[in-house]
Structure 1
């Protein structure tokens, strides 16, 4: 038996910290040896006594119940011991193990060529998981393939067993090919894993297929637990079977996906995976620049059809979106081509023209209803905020409208301001920013951190202070250049002067979104003698500016001191502010005051899901839809200053567009196999 004690120590220290109980199994042909251990020294002492020539050594992957330590094989090896660890003996899932193995004859070791395939595929999976927001895994060579171990710490039960099974099925669907597979069998709690630091001895040790030492290639100093929400998000990629539709004779099981793709000119390469079939498209239907292996259609054994593109811009597209792109009526009971007639009942209907009507400056004093209907108005346009529920309720930030954001100190106003800027830039809009509290340098730091994401930031010696890794700070800044314009405070804070400069900026740079942070730092004293009237004129000016220039304006207004739960009436000094604006939002920080005061006002219970978030954004006013008292939970990420929709959310923005999909790994995205 060949092994490396240093590598074994490294593996057990990482995988089984704090004297966690584990079982070791040594498999020698039809014989096996089992032992339960709590520490690496006792295990190594027992291992040195074993006189076995060719064998394979494994360790239980997950957390074994303490009672198993009282079995006969305590701190020693017993031949053909019974019982061994079963699923019911596992306390919790420690690890999601992704085993990437070459396809080869059973009972043989991998060739060098096959190992290279496994390494390449492992980097693809590693990069994908990183983009999904998963924490750094333990990456190891099993001897014949590659393992990626993600720390998950889930209770061992049927629900989580099914969740782990689905996650492996998704990775198999996305990444398995004819010559390389993601093993889908590693979902049961009592799964054993190669003990790194021991020799992998499958078949004969030949030059073509040699035995290799297993070892850890890359690992974090201390693995960080991935939240269950991350796994749930990954598992949702499993397509669900569609229901038969009698009205159009659609039968999912009889639907011929290959005939459909051929009929609509989709070029593909077919291969099998697990229990399904994968069709690798020559190009993505939504973006012809996404080629190679980036876009696939999947057909599962139960008839379910799925689609996935590995580029951010298409990652939300589904098979339904693909089908509707080519068949707009695919899911409609009755599809009727839109008719462009003034009156749907009478195609010859003509608007009766009023010959004499009093006008002022070319405008009617009173409209008839038909004149209103025939008015030509610009189409509504909305800038998405990236806050899912907010965008669903408000449709986004409507151009021509004004939004007021308020909130107490440390509620997340600075985070939301820079976040809105990045989300707008991602959609191709341009932003002009005035910040009376942050310097231009500090504002840029926030923008860079949020655009980078946690994979591209680094902690400093100061608590909760992070910086963007080089050279990504420059890459992101160049991506934001000519998309975000920051007012230079050297030119003062006179409101009317700033608005003149903003007008020039809008005209010259085609700005779509203006953010003023905040009203209190703007000098509006010249607008009127009375301070409340000043604020009213201020908002009136913004409303006129927004409509005239077809831009959306967001401004921050601090609330007055309040002894109760912060409400809309507490915003700044004049109720006329919130009466005039189109949208009003309040940011809350979820702390003890928030819990106490909200329970007093709304009679919320302790189990209210808002209390598990870090921040809440409240829709107080929505001129278009009438939404109010809508509370949306958000989750602050300290390393990036982001307010996320959920704890599993991880976004990558357009600065990575040139290198996304199955791209050659960067220094932060690769496993250093060599």
Structure 2
């Protein structure tokens, strides 16, 4: 069940997950910021400011050592965040700069947001907070991820992938909102972007919070990141069996028929099946990871009969490595191919 929620309820959820919440006010071209530890105090400040400009709040949890600076009124920075507690997905209609959305533009953004939520529900993600920003539509998912390099890589893959899949010349998926220090429109206040006209009016931002607003399990976030990383980094070569990612394929095997699971098992790298053709494995370069035996490992993908399998590792030291690098590293992939390559290798 999901219902229209009050501003106080939304703020209470932020305090419960983050402890400290930043309120940022924009009016007359100037920004002012303040930090709060309870709903009553922040509500009093909001009531003094809401009729004069636009209001935003922080989304994520600051590190304890950042609290003194925050309480002195310093804006949040990415490095000051300790935990990512919100995954905000933001759909904005494509329109002229500096104006509000029309009703038709908003409807297009709403449909796009609902399409994403439906897709994630099929992947076992829980129901998110739904929101109208005033000019676009949001979905916010609760989570708890450390603000570190591995999380940054996961979110980069997800937001870049969603942008490629859901953006066009009608609606834009904003991939920039993944940064830890992001501020977001305060629901329950007026969005005053540009002139207030009958066709493009100022609107009140609103949100709808599920009765059970559950956190997304980390493994579901990892799986989505793997899916989009595979699409971005492991597209098959234009001429099957040819070069991929700078790799010169000189072996005899047709890598479209490579049994990637058998190859990983032979090198004691296989861990478990994840479903939908994905498998968790130990990274062949794990000895060089800063956290070589952490829960976040690598993933291989069986993509189909006419494509090479895929590979992705979350660790920053493996950024850019693909299945071609795995083949070169392990050295004996040919014997795990069902067929020999019959074409001409790229040189």
- Alignment TM class, shorter chain as reference: 0.5 to 0.7
1:11 matched to 2:34? The reply is no
Show the counterpart of 1:229.
219
Show the counterpart of 1:123.
114
2:252, 2:79 → 1: CA distance? 54
In structure 2, do the counterparts of structure 1 residues 12 and 124 end up closer, same or farther at CA, with 3 Å as the change threshold? same
Q: How does 1:76-87 map to 2 (within 5 A)?
A: 83-87=74-78
In structure 2, do the counterparts of structure 1 residues 141 and 335 end up closer, same or farther at CA, with 3 Å as the change threshold? same
In structure 2, do the counterparts of structure 1 residues 60 and 608 end up closer, same or farther at CA, with 3 Å as the change threshold? closer
Show the counterpart of 1:138.
129
1:65 matched to 2:56? The reply is no
1:153 matched to 2:152? The reply is no
Q: TM-score, normalised by structure 1?
A: 0.35
2:60, 2:54 → 1: CA distance? 19
Q: CA RMSD in A?
A: 3.6
2:224, 2:185 → 1: CA distance? 25
> Could you tell me whether the CA contact under 8 Å between 2:91 and 2:113 is conserved in 1?
yes
How far is 1:609 from its partner? 9.3
Show the counterpart of 1:274.
none
Q: Size of the alignment, in residue pairs?
A: 259
Give unmatched runs, 5+ long, in structure 1.
Answer: 1-5, 75-80, 241-297, 307-318, 338-387, 394-422, 424-606, 611-674
1:135, 1:211 → 2: CA distance? 31
Q: Secondary structure at the match of 1:42?
A: helix
> Could you tell me whether the CA contact under 8 Å between 1:136 and 1:220 is conserved in 2?
yes
**Structure with larger Rg:** 1
How far is 1:165 from its partner? 1.9
Give unmatched runs, 5+ long, in structure 2.
Answer: 244-248, 255-259, 266-274, 276-291, 296-347
Q: TM-score, normalised by structure 2?
A: 0.65
> Could you tell me whether the CA contact under 8 Å between 2:93 and 2:109 is conserved in 1?
yes
How far is 1:329 from its partner? 5.2
* Residue deviations 1:333-364 (CA, integer Å, cap 9, x gap): 58899xxxxxxxxxxxxxxxxxxxxxxxxxxx
How far is 1:195 from its partner? 1.0
Q: How does 1:105-504 map to 2 (within 5 A)?
A: 105-217=96-208, 219-238=209-228, 306=235, 319=236, 330=242
Q: How does 1:564-575 map to 2 (within 5 A)?
A: none
How far is 1:16 from its partner? 3.0
* Residue deviations 1:394-431 (CA, integer Å, cap 9, x gap): xxxxxxxxxxxxxxxxxxxxxxxxxxxxx9xxxxxxxx
1:87, 1:60 → 2: CA distance? 11
How far is 1:113 from its partner? 0.9
> Could you tell me whether the CA contact under 8 Å between 1:154 and 1:228 is conserved in 2?
yes
How far is 1:182 from its partner? 1.0
In structure 2, do the counterparts of structure 1 residues 149 and 334 end up closer, same or farther at CA, with 3 Å as the change threshold? same
In structure 2, do the counterparts of structure 1 residues 239 and 38 end up closer, same or farther at CA, with 3 Å as the change threshold? closer
